[in-house]
Amino acid sequence: MRIVIMTLIMALLAGCATANETFGMGQLCGRQPYCGAATDIEIIKGSTNDNDVYSRALAPFAIIDLPFSIVADTLILPYTIFHMRPAEE
């Protein structure tokens, strides 16, 4: 039971990239399919860069958030497809 509670607490502390990108400011990729998971992956990849202190600090949270973002992105896939931004020329 403690493991379940700790997992839920860690998920709440991590924040959800899907909610932030889809319903928030959406600065990285906006309303594109699987944007939350893509954001988490970009943060994890950025953490390998020595100059990117922001990504290095957020990488543990992105790792925890990634599976939750994949599930959330899948659940809101019809919404994101309907509201996709048109490709810029």
pLDDT tier for residue 50 given thresholds of 50, 70 and 90: confident
Q: What is the pLDDT of residues 22-48, one digit of tens each?
A: 777 667 776 688 888 998 899 899 888
**pTM of model > 0.85:** no
CA 85 to CA 56: how far, in whole Å? 30
The angle at the Cα of 58, spanning 54 to 59, to the nearest 5 degrees, equals 115
